[in-house]
A and B are shown apart, each in its own frame.
Chain A
C-alpha cells in the first residue's frame, strides 16, 4: 500500500503534464483556467494524504520497537555485491514527514488554485507542483540512500523549475539557476559521503546500517572514528546545500522569485527540511562522531543568528520570511547537533505549519496589493484584509515564541537541549536565545509595517468593489495598471483574497496554535514516539536542575516579549525608525546588503572562476587545442594535394606502378637492405 503515497502525485503530474504539453501549450499562451488542473493536482495530493494517514494509524497500533511498514517494489540495479531495490520503508520518523508533506501540501495546492487563478499556464504549474510532491515523498520514504538521492535530486530539479517558473523575467531565471548550482555543490558532498559509506560498510540500506551500529554512540567493529566523522561531514555538506545553511544558504533568499505557494511549500515547509531528515535518519553516524555533532550545532546556531540579523533590515515581505526560514533551519540543525533529534524534527513540523501560514499570508497580501512586495509601501491592511490579518497574527505569534503556541514549544525544546545536553553549551544557548529575541523583533516589524498604522500607498477610491474584478493578474511582469475597466482609478484597490485562499490560512492557523501540544515539555508525545528511531534525549548534564529549566524558559519568553514590544513601540512611530537608522547607518547598510555575502562570493569564487575560464578558453583552448586540431586538418589537406598528382586515372600508368612495386618488393625480399 505504501507505493500509493508517491504514486498519486506522479499520476497527477502525468495527467496535468501531458494535458499541458499536448492540449494547452500548443494553443499558445492564452489564459487557461486554473480550476480543473488545480482540482486534479489537489485531489492527487489529498489522496496520498489519506493513504499517509492510514499508514500512520497502522503504525500507531504496532509495537514501538518494531514500528515500521516496508514494501519492496522492484530491483533497481544489481551489480556484483551492489544491490539496490526501489523500496519504501515508513517508520516513526518519516511517517511524520509524509503527513506534513501531504497535509500541508494539500492546503497549499488548494491555495494555489486561487493564487494562480489568473496565471497563463496553470497546467504547467500544477504539474510541477505534483512532480515536486512525488520527489519529496520518494526522498522521505526511500529505504536506502540511492532512493533517497533520487528524491533529493528530484526536489532540486522541481525547485529549479518552479523558482524560474516565470522565466521570461531574466532575474527569476537566474535565481533558479543559482539555486540549482548551489545545490549541486552540496550534492557533491552528499555523493562523496554515500561512496564512503558503501566502501566502508558495503551497504546503503538504512536498516542494515543501523544494525551495524547497534546501540547509540557505539561504533561498528573495525571502523575508525575518523571515517565516521568524514562520512557525517560529507553528508552534512549535502544538507547545507539543501537546507540552506552557511555557507551555502545564498540561494534560498533568491528563490523567492518563484510563485508564493512554491515558496511556502518548497522553500519553507518541505524541501529545505530534507537536510534535517537526513541527519535524523542517519543519527547513529552523528552520535558516533562528537566532532561532526559540534560542527552541525555550531553551523546551525551561527546560521540562525546570522540570518536573523539580515532579516531585520529587509524591505521585501518574502525576503524577510526567507531569511527567517534560513534562521529557523539553523535552529533545527542546532537541535540535531546537540543530540536532540526529536526536538529538531519537532521544530520541522511546527515550522511547516507556521511558516507555510506566513508565506501563504504574505501571498494573500501580495495578491491583495496587486504585486506590491515592499513592506514600506504597505500598512493599514488590518481593516481591508481581516482574515489574512488574523491568521498572519497567529503565525507571527507562533514564530516569535509566544507561550502556548506551537513555535514556543519546539523552539524552547531546542534552546533547553542546547543548554543542557552533554554536547551543548551555554554559548550555543546564548546565541540561540539572542536569535529568538531578534526573531520576535523582525517578525513583529514585518507584521506592524504590513497591517498596522496608516496606509503608505495611495488608496484607490473604489476599494469596495475590487473584490470580484477579473482584470488583474499577478506574479507577472506584465505591467498591468492598478486601475481596471474603462475607468482608470489611481492608487491600489486593496481587496481580501477569496475563500479558496483564506481557508487554507485558517486551517494552518489552527494547526499553528495546537501543533505544539504533541511536544509538551516533560510529557512529550513526539519525543517518546521518535525514541526507537533517533534514540532518547540525552540525560541532562550534571548540575542542571529542573528549576534552571524553568528559569531559562522564563528568560526566553521574556526575550520574545521584549522583542515584540520593542518592535511594536518602534514601528508605531516611523520617524523614530528613521532617526534610529540614521544613527547606525553603517550597520544598517551592512545588514541591508546582507553582509555583502553575495558580493564576496562573487569576488572570491565567481570572478576568479570566470577569469580562469577565460584564460583557459583564450590561452589554451583556442591557442593550443584548436591549433592542434586545425593542424591535423591542414597536414592531411596538404598531403592530399601533393599525392593526388600520381592519380592520373590512366589504367596503364597504374599497371606500370604495380609492376614497379612488384619488382621493388621482390628485390627487397631477395636482397634485403644491402
Chain B
C-alpha cells in the first residue's frame, strides 16, 4: 500500500491551521470564528496522528481522542453562549460586543 509522505500531511495540516487562524483574525461573526477554531483544532489533530504514526507511539492518538471530546463540549458551550449573547445584545459581531472595555 502506498504511503503518503509525512511532510505532505504536515504541510496540509499547517495550511488548514493557518486558514482557521486567519478566519479567527479577520472575521467578525462569532459563529464563523467558532467554526475557524474547529478548523484549527482538527489541523492539530491531524498533526498528532501523523506524528503518532511516524514515532510509533500511541500518545498522539490518545491526545486526539481527548481533543475531540473536549472540542465537542467546547462547541456546545460556545454555541450556547452565542445564542445567549444574541438574545441579549441582538448581535454576534465582535466589533459591537466590546462592552467590558468601558
Binding site for B on A (CB under 8 A): 647-652, 655-656, 659
CB pair B21 A659 closer than 8 Å:
yes
List residues of chain B with CB within 8 A of the CB of A656.
Answer: 25
CB pair A652 B101 closer than 8 Å:
no
Chain B: CB-nearest residue to A651: B94
Main secondary structure of the interface of B (DSSP, over half): helix
CB pair A650 B94 closer than 8 Å:
yes
Beta-carbon contacts of B66-102 to A below 8 Å, as 1s and 0s? Answer: 0000000000000000000000000000110010110
Q: Could you say which of A649, A651, A659 contacts B33, with CB atoms under 8 Å apart?
A: A651
Chain A: CB-nearest residue to B27: A652
CB pair A652 B94 closer than 8 Å:
yes
> In the docked arrangement, what's the CA distance between A651 and B30, Å?
10
Extra 19 A-B pairs, beta carbons < 8 Å, given A649-B98, A652-B26 = A647-B101, A648-B98, A648-B101, A649-B100, A649-B101, A650-B94, A650-B95, A650-B98, A651-B33, A651-B94, A652-B24, A652-B25, A652-B28, A652-B94, A655-B21, A655-B24, A655-B25, A656-B25, A659-B21
> In the docked arrangement, what's the CA distance between A398 and B34, Å?
104
> In the docked arrangement, what's the CA distance between A655 and B34, Å?
13
Q: Which 3 A-B pairs have the closest CB atoms?
A: A649-B101, A649-B98, A651-B94
Rounded to whole Å, the gap between the CB of B1 and the closest CB of chain A is 35
Chain A: CB-nearest residue to B95: A650
Rounded to whole Å, the gap between the CB of B76 and the closest CB of chain A is 20
List residues of chain A with CB within 8 A of the CB of B98.
Answer: 648-650
List residues of chain B with CB within 8 A of the CB of A647.
Answer: 101
> In the docked arrangement, what's the CA distance between A659 and B21, Å?
9
B residues 18-77 in Cβ contact with A at 8 Å: 21, 24-26, 28, 33
List residues of chain B with CB within 8 A of the CB of A649.
Answer: 98, 100-101
> In the docked arrangement, what's the CA distance between A655 and B24, Å?
8
13 contacts between A and B (CB under 8 A): A647-B101, A648-B98, A649-B100, A649-B101, A650-B94, A650-B95, A651-B33, A651-B94, A652-B24, A652-B25, A655-B24, A656-B25, A659-B21
> In the docked arrangement, what's the CA distance between A649 and B93, Å?
13
Rounded to whole Å, the gap between the CB of A468 and the closest CB of chain B is 80
List residues of chain B with CB within 8 A of the CB of A650.
Answer: 94-95, 98
Main secondary structure of the interface of A (DSSP, over half): helix
List residues of chain A with CB within 8 A of the CB of B100.
Answer: 649
Chain A: CB-nearest residue to B24: A655
List residues of chain A with CB within 8 A of the CB of B95.
Answer: 650
Chain A: CB-nearest residue to B100: A649
List residues of chain B with CB within 8 A of the CB of A648.
Answer: 98, 101
Chain A: CB-nearest residue to B94: A651
> In the docked arrangement, what's the CA distance between A179 and B26, Å?
79
Rounded to whole Å, the gap between the CB of B82 and the closest CB of chain A is 13
List residues of chain A with CB within 8 A of the CB of B25.
Answer: 652, 655-656
* Candidate in A647, A648, A650, A659 with the most chain B CB atoms within 10 angstroms: A650
Rounded to whole Å, the gap between the CB of A239 and the closest CB of chain B is 69
List residues of chain A with CB within 8 A of the CB of B21.
Answer: 655, 659
Chain B: CB-nearest residue to A653: B25
Chain B: CB-nearest residue to A648: B101
> In the docked arrangement, what's the CA distance between A651 and B81, Å?
15
List residues of chain A with CB within 8 A of the CB of B26.
Answer: 652
> In the docked arrangement, what's the CA distance between A655 and B101, Å?
16
> In the docked arrangement, what's the CA distance between A655 and B98, Å?
15
> In the docked arrangement, what's the CA distance between A659 and B98, Å?
21
Rounded to whole Å, the gap between the CB of A23 and the closest CB of chain B is 57
Rounded to whole Å, the gap between the CB of B85 and the closest CB of chain A is 12
> In the docked arrangement, what's the CA distance between A81 and B20, Å?
72
Chain A: CB-nearest residue to B30: A651
> In the docked arrangement, what's the CA distance between A656 and B24, Å?
9
List residues of chain B with CB within 8 A of the CB of A651.
Answer: 33, 94
Rounded to whole Å, the gap between the CB of B97 and the closest CB of chain A is 8
> In the docked arrangement, what's the CA distance between A648 and B26, Å?
16
Chain B: CB-nearest residue to A659: B21
> In the docked arrangement, what's the CA distance between A656 and B95, Å?
15
Rounded to whole Å, the gap between the CB of B91 and the closest CB of chain A is 13
> In the docked arrangement, what's the CA distance between A648 and B21, Å?
20
* Candidate in A647, A649, A656, A659 with the most chain B CB atoms within 10 angstroms: A649
> In the docked arrangement, what's the CA distance between A376 and B94, Å?
94
Rounded to whole Å, the gap between the CB of A330 and the closest CB of chain B is 78
Rounded to whole Å, the gap between the CB of A663 and the closest CB of chain B is 12
> In the docked arrangement, what's the CA distance between A655 and B94, Å?
12
> In the docked arrangement, what's the CA distance between A656 and B100, Å?
19
Rounded to whole Å, the gap between the CB of A657 and the closest CB of chain B is 11
List residues of chain B with CB within 8 A of the CB of A659.
Answer: 21
> In the docked arrangement, what's the CA distance between A416 and B26, Å?
109
List residues of chain A with CB within 8 A of the CB of B28.
Answer: 652
Rounded to whole Å, the gap between the CB of A122 and the closest CB of chain B is 64
List residues of chain B with CB within 8 A of the CB of A652.
Answer: 24-26, 28, 94
> In the docked arrangement, what's the CA distance between A655 and B20, Å?
12
> In the docked arrangement, what's the CA distance between A525 and B25, Å?
105
> In the docked arrangement, what's the CA distance between A648 and B33, Å?
18
> In the docked arrangement, what's the CA distance between A331 and B28, Å?
97
> In the docked arrangement, what's the CA distance between A156 and B72, Å?
74
> In the docked arrangement, what's the CA distance between A659 and B26, Å?
14
> In the docked arrangement, what's the CA distance between A655 and B25, Å?
7
> In the docked arrangement, what's the CA distance between A650 and B25, Å?
10
Rounded to whole Å, the gap between the CB of B74 and the closest CB of chain A is 16
Rounded to whole Å, the gap between the CB of A457 and the closest CB of chain B is 81
Rounded to whole Å, the gap between the CB of A471 and the closest CB of chain B is 72
Rounded to whole Å, the gap between the CB of A458 and the closest CB of chain B is 82
Rounded to whole Å, the gap between the CB of B99 and the closest CB of chain A is 8
> In the docked arrangement, what's the CA distance between A650 and B95, Å?
7
> In the docked arrangement, what's the CA distance between A120 and B81, Å?
70
> In the docked arrangement, what's the CA distance between A652 and B26, Å?
7
> In the docked arrangement, what's the CA distance between A659 and B24, Å?
11
Chain B: CB-nearest residue to A656: B25
> In the docked arrangement, what's the CA distance between A656 and B21, Å?
9
Chain A: CB-nearest residue to B99: A649
Rounded to whole Å, the gap between the CB of B25 and the closest CB of chain A is 5
Chain A: CB-nearest residue to B25: A652
Rounded to whole Å, the gap between the CB of A228 and the closest CB of chain B is 73
Chain B: CB-nearest residue to A647: B101
> In the docked arrangement, what's the CA distance between A651 and B21, Å?
13
Rounded to whole Å, the gap between the CB of B15 and the closest CB of chain A is 16
> In the docked arrangement, what's the CA distance between A182 and B94, Å?
72
Rounded to whole Å, the gap between the CB of B16 and the closest CB of chain A is 16
Rounded to whole Å, the gap between the CB of A648 and the closest CB of chain B is 7
> In the docked arrangement, what's the CA distance between A394 and B25, Å?
106
Chain A: CB-nearest residue to B98: A649
Rounded to whole Å, the gap between the CB of A662 and the closest CB of chain B is 11
Rounded to whole Å, the gap between the CB of A641 and the closest CB of chain B is 15
> In the docked arrangement, what's the CA distance between A655 and B28, Å?
13
List residues of chain A with CB within 8 A of the CB of B24.
Answer: 652, 655
Rounded to whole Å, the gap between the CB of B17 and the closest CB of chain A is 11
> In the docked arrangement, what's the CA distance between A522 and B26, Å?
114
Rounded to whole Å, the gap between the CB of A640 and the closest CB of chain B is 14
> In the docked arrangement, what's the CA distance between A76 and B60, Å?
65
> In the docked arrangement, what's the CA distance between A648 and B24, Å?
16
